[in-house]
Amino acid sequence: MKNLVIVESPTKARTISRFLGEDFEVIASMGHIYDLPKSKLGVDTEKDFAPDYQLLKDKKKTIDEIKKVSKKADKIIMATDLDREGEAIAYHIAQNIGSKDVDRIVFHEITKEAIEEALKNPKKINKDLVDAQTARRVLDRLVGYKLSPILWSKVRRGLSAGRVQSVALRLIVEREREIEKFKKSPYYTILTTLKKDSTETIFELLEINKEKIEISEELDLYDGEYKFTKTSIEAQERATKIEEDLKTKDFVVSDVTKKEMKRTPPPPYTTSTLQQDGARRMGLSGRRTMQLAQKLYEEGYITYHRTDSVAIADSARNQMTEYVKQQFGDKYLPETPRFYKNTSKNAQEAHEAIRPAKVSVTADRITKDLGAQYGKLYEIIWRRALATQMADAITESTVVMVDAGSGAYTLKANGSVLVFEGFLKINPFALEDKRLPDFVVSEKLNYVNSLSEFHETLPPPRYNDASIIKTLEEKGIGRPSTYATIISTIESRGYIEREESRFKPTSVGIAVNDFLVDNFSTVDDIPFTAEMEDELDQIANGEKEWVPVIRQFYDPFEKILDKVKDVKRVKIEVEQTNELCPECKKGNLVVRTGRFGKFLSCSTFPDCKFTKPLVQETNLLCPKDRGKIVIKKTKRGRRFYGCSNYPKCDFAAWKLEDIKQAAA
């Protein structure tokens, strides 16, 4: 009789079937077969938080088929994914079919070699991983189902809360308040163009009378997308005087420093870094990136995509080394094999980074088989992984200092030359040469012109998909498989909205956040949430029992729930307009947020129940018919720009830049 292999998805089943002979039959469970009931808490808080797992209605036919085939099978093999969810699915299926004697195999890639190796080394279901998944599910259910009714009574009906999602919302709200409080400060940079022979070079003013020009102390500096490193001259009048004074000076090269620098390739992708680059390079949400990666994994093109490890298997390293040698030559190989250390304290050492299953498979093939988006995501995975086994890039950086007016001013220019491309050979974003003339110390340069540029210090940017995922990971909030879900959940609840691909909290989101921070500071606390993630990891590693961990959380949480019952109801701030209500003629229309987004209603509600759709106009005209461009939303809540004359005109764009380009 055949061996029965059970996986989660039909795609994975089809791929695995290609590598197994006639002695194997592969069946998909179509994901989880058990879950907690939606209609009630489903957790017995009096009996060690026992979960009331129930068979999902739409899985009865599937599980009946698995039972039928399993009775005839000589051996039952669970081949679900190698994370906690996969382990829980395997455990629940084994329990349902009444078979304890099942083998468990795990693999990081769906290839013939990996499947055969896994079959040679079967294991048993890891109960510690199952317990960790149970603990997470129970914990999230307790928070969600206990907090949500309170939000209904104290904020607004229909709201819900989540343990990790609430912390993500808090980060976004706190960033918004930083932006609101930020006071812009003006400053100037002075750029001077000097000529050597017929070649002109732009120098930046660095020092005045040998004192470095500093950004004033009251200015806030932020790492990230905006980092203020330029010199600052904060008075336009002073900047203009310096410009005029520079015209009268002699310019002499005071120092030329050349330094050879090595640039090492970054580590291969983890779930977090892949989602970050999916957002930066492809404009994808974390959820969409994971959907694409899931398909690539199940089709056998990449390794498992839910990982926080940067390790690469020896067999894969050898495969990539041989590929580099054949395609580019020995000089593109590193002197010694390159290894990366995991920076995440809870990274699973047994896991691998995300890499191509076979380095010889090109992005063109993926595009042909699955489509353009899959091909592009595969390409960045392929380039990142292959680069790790290539030589360092070598650049020669040059710093040229110029003295003006015998110490009155010091100017600086930076240059770089790519000496050896190394891993940048396969990188389309390789550094371009910024070659400077061969300046010589003590030589005089000719003045061409000076220009003062006005700048303003900028507030920290709103989070986007990449930056919020990076922050969540740095703070230990969530785990690789949860990042995309965290963001999509608070977005679908209407707690945040996208503006130019960045997250802005809604009035409802702010109200929910403030209520939770004021009354559930422990649950909504970043260090507490990170510590809870650590404890879930300890359960997975067999270092802690799950019930005491949940009890330690729930007992004080329950006491807080009782206290909050007496708290006053929260008032959600509404945006005022100057438009008079056309129905009652008494109140002005205000902007409110409902299940389907923003709308206009009378400020005297509930006395007057007038409502109408909110149309947010811009100052741009449609490049097709010159109608007004308005802000709209898709059914899933994603913001876009469209023509007000729809459906007569179907122009639409995701970004303002796209409208401007179309009009150009």
Cis-peptide into 647, omega within 30 deg = yes
Q: Where are the beta strands (DSSP E) in 296-443?
A: 393-404, 409-420
Q: Return the DSSP state at 2.
A: P
Q: How far is residue 7's CA from residue 18's CA, in Å, rounded to a whole number? A: 14
How far is 266 from 471, CA to CA, in rounded Å? 19
- Could you tell me the two tokens for 254? 């005071």
Q: Which residues contact 556 (CB under 8 A, 6 or more apart)?
A: 522
Are 203 and 411 in contact, with CB atoms under 8 Å apart?
yes
- Whole-angstrom distance, CA of residue 150 vs CA of residue 159: 9
Q: Write the single-letter amino acid at 162.
A: G
Cβ–Cβ < 8 Å for 28, 9:
yes
For 78, 109, 384, the CA distances from 357, given in Å and listed in that order, are 21, 6, 13
Distance from chain centroid for Cα 281? 12
Phi, psi of 408, deg, nearest 5? -65, -40
Contact status, residue 602 vs residue 581, Cβ threshold 8 Å: yes
Residue whose entry in the numeric block shows the structure tokens 């006053």: 568
First to last CA, the chain: 69
What are the residue numbers of the active site? Answer: 304
Helix runs in 283-408, H state only: 286-298, 314-328, 363-370, 372-387
The owner of tokens 């079967």 is 122
Quickly list H helices, 541-613. 546-564
Say which residue the tokens 């960033």 belong to: 175
Peptide bond into 337 cis (omega under 30): no
Q: What share of the chain is helix, strand, coil (3-state, %, to 5)?
A: 40, 25, 40
Outline where DSSP puts E strands in 218-303: 251-263
**Cα-flanking dihedrals φ and ψ of residue 253, to 5°?**
-65, 120
Amino acid at 533: E
Let me know: does 305 contact 354? Beta carbons within 8 Å.
Answer: yes
Name residue 418's beta-bridge partners.
395
**Interstrand relation of 211-212 and 652-653 (parallel, antiparallel or unpaired):** unpaired
Angle at the Cα of 263 (from 262 to 267), degrees rounded to 5?
140
| 91-125 CB burial, b ≥16 within 10 A, e <16 | bbbbebbeeeebbbbbbbbbbeebbeebbeeeeeb
